[in-house]
Chain A
Amino acid sequence: MRNLYLGMIIIILCAFTSTLYGQDLTAEQIVRKAEQSVYPDNFVMRATIETLKSGEVESHMDMEIRYKRDTGTRIELLAPARSHGVRFLQKEGNLWMFNPRAGSGQAIRLSPRASFQGTVFSNRDVGDPQYTTEYTVRVVGRESIDVQGSGQVDAIVVEGIARNAQVAYAKVRLWIRAKDYMILKAEYFAKSGLPFKTVEFTNIRRLAGKERPSVLRMLSMDQKDRVSIMTIHDLVEDPAMADAIFTLSALTR
């Protein structure tokens, strides 16, 4: 009987907390909506990543990204010329790279936590918005934050703890716009608990039939003079994408 009362109290408290911070949605549902505010579940997009060091352009990459939720991500570099044709395949926390110019004819397995082609983004950051599958999330509060172009915005703050050691970051903290669950900012933490990187989602415009952020600015705490900016040029939802695209056989073809 005592356990029953205790259980009821916990349920009521959870419901209260959820209503207070997340407007009747669980933390997982909020983050899921935030993921969908950036990308659809299956998509093809053209994007650019530009890395600046002390304000000077250090590198510039054009790429095509294909993503299918719960299946994988495939990236093909289109520029610079010397990287044209280099492809990456990421699935279940694993990453392979294939360079048709290298001559080996072989895909090489890489660590998904390493830097993506020398940018501030890690391999996992590019085109893989699966916070809900990689982190155990909970709502931790509500804040008013200053957003470029929108002024002060009411945001739900969600924290996620990595579900396993393969995930790029030990902990993430997300700021999600309360009115429509659009993700505004994320902070990534190292195993030590120290903040590692910050990404800001800005320049909202219509992509794949919805208002979405089109610019992701990634800053690193240990490389303070460097910033990598991903600009999404085209984003198309593609629900008919075949799983076979996300195989090693297709990667080397």
Chain B
Amino acid sequence: MLLAGACLAAPQNAVAQDNSLFGSVETSVTDSIAGGSSQLSSIAGLAPYGQILSGGVKAHFIERSTFDGGELYVDDTLSWLGGSDGGMLSNSLAQGYVAISPLPELTLVVGKRRISWGAGYAFFPGDLINPPASPDNRSSGFYGILATIAPSASFTLTAAVRFDTAFPALSTLTGSTSTAVGVDPSSLPFLAAYLPTIPDNPWLSLRYALYADMLFGNLDLYAATTYQYSSVLRPAAGFSLDLGGVIANGEVAVEFSNSSLYPVASSTAFEHPAFGTPYPIFTVGLQRTVTSDAGSYAITAEYLYDGMGYTAAQEGTVCGDLLQALSAISGSTSAAKLRAAYASADASSSAWFSSGSVIPAFGRHYVAVSLSASAGTAFEATAAALVNLQDGSFAVQPELRLSWQSGVELFTRAVVAWGPNDHSEFGLLPTPVTVTTGAVVHF
């Protein structure tokens, strides 16, 4: 009834007045230069530096159709990943929703939608409503409903209910499932018994968020809260401020529903270390863009502190005891995998700056740095780095991009991961150096 009524409303605040379809087709090949084993056999005879990890074609399209009082929005990627087994076709719906505006100040959204959260570049400590980003689905939204009210251009309030926390099958409808930590905790059987299970009543697993954004002069302030019964209660607040061309930003969140587990005395006795005890997560950052005759340059730096739900001493116990236990079972010494499995799935929802890679939920201190330089619109060089200050490991992603006005781009990028030892976060990656080369045609 509400939908029907809204559809009849005049298009007073329809943002887009027409329909548009745009996107890109990309083909690329990813090689490993060092380490790792081939997941796919080589295709097209291209294996100049090592074994080809993947190669294929990706079609990304965004379609926006407006109607009286609303719009339909679809952001979808269809991928074909080649290999000796004939290849794999997959689809990933990042966003797909209907937005209606029964009043000029009110917008209702039903479907899969992402809330644009905060003012950060790499880290979003309070954002537990959007799914964690993943390399395959970098801007995925959540299935749910949203209502946004904007009484003025300087104040908006969004309320959201997320369904796919209660009905995980929704996420698999479009092949967009991603995990926060990059490892499936259930693959560690002796931990599985201690991990949270889906409750009998899925309605208790709905997740709620309130997000308010206010602009005072050149100070942008926001406040938010995410809540899920017996799982998440994380209020957050943040800001961004233009300091004469330098953009400063910060966000602090406090998790009140600490659901971490740690071993009491041995690896077989677990309990919540600080149940009901809040722990903080915060980030601060700076960004500066300089334009000159030769081109433009931008630098971004952001620091993240993650309280993780347990103390450093407890973490030592966790790693020590569990490492010993796991070593005894499997012979592996993967401390980071243990930490990742140990943290709750939502302990960190941060996304690696610009690349969309996942930050695993271990490590307390991180820095993300990004540098970019462009000459006109034809050439762009960027480098993004994520450093785990706790263990000294890092991942760097340099990229070169050549563009033509016709909409054709050539690119090459590398991901270089390094750690001082095989217990460090990025020292554990199976392919320390990968190079992706490809071409994109935009339409």
Contacts and interface: CB of A to CB of B under 8 A. Distances in A.
A82 B442 contact: yes
A244 B107 contact: yes
A203 interface: no
Interface in B134-191: 138-141, 148, 150-154, 156, 158
Interface string A81-123: 1101100000111100010111111111111111101100000
A113 B247 CA distance: 12
B276 interface: no
A84 B242 contact: no
B73 A253 contact: yes
A107 B121 CA distance: 9
Interface in B270-312: 287-291, 293, 295-296
A53 B377 CA distance: 12
A60 B405 contact: yes
Given A85-B20, A104-B138, A92 B296 contact: no
B114 interface: yes
A101 B242 contact: no
Contact of B154 (A81, A92, A100, A113): A92
B46 interface: no
Interface stretch (B201-209, B215-223, B228-236, B423-431): B215-223
Contacts of A166: 218, 242, 244
Nearest to B114: A105
Interface in B8-53: 12-13, 15-17, 20, 22-24
Contacts of A84: 20, 22, 442
Nearest to A243: B153
Interface string A222-253: 11000000000000000011111111111111
A118 B356 CA distance: 25
A72 interface: yes
B60 A101 contact: yes
A118 B296 contact: yes
A93 B354 contact: no
A108 B121 contact: yes
Nearest to B95: A105
Interface in B231-253: 240, 242, 244-247, 249
A82 B156 CA distance: 30
What range describes how many residues of A lie at the interface?
35 or more
Contact of A92 (B99, B156, B215): B215
- Residue in A44, A76, A103 whose Cβ sees the most chain B Cβ within 10 Å: A103
A103 B407 contact: no
Contact of B376 (A58, A106, A113): A58
A173 to B, nearest CB: 22
B213 interface: yes
B314 interface: no
A144 interface: no
A249 B154 contact: no
Contact of B220 (A53, A109, A111): A109
Contacts of B151: 243
Given A81-B22, A85-B22, A249-B158, A244 B104 contact: yes
Given A94-B215, A249-B158, A109 B138 contact: no
Given A104-B351, A111-B247, A117-B377, A251 B20 contact: no
Given A84-B442, A92-B215, 7 more contacts: A59-B405, A72-B153, A100-B75, A102-B354, A103-B138, A105-B116, A247-B150
Interface of B: 12-13, 15-17, 20, 22-24, 60, 62, 71, 73, 75, 94-95, 99, 101, 104-105, 107, 114, 116-119, 121, 130, 133, 138-141, 148, 150-154, 156, 158, 213, 215, 217-218, 220, 240, 242, 244-247, 249, 287-291, 293, 295-296, 351, 354, 356, 374, 376-377, 403, 405-407, 409, 440, 442-443
28 contacts: A53-B376, A59-B376, A80-B406, A82-B442, A84-B20, A84-B22, A92-B218, A94-B242, A100-B75, A101-B442, A104-B138, A104-B356, A105-B94, A105-B139, A108-B121, A109-B287, A113-B245, A114-B245, A165-B244, A166-B218, A243-B151, A244-B105, A247-B153, A249-B116, A252-B116, A253-B71, A253-B73, A253-B99
Interface of A: 44, 53, 58-60, 68, 71-72, 74, 76, 80-82, 84-85, 91-94, 98, 100-115, 117-118, 165-166, 222-223, 240-253
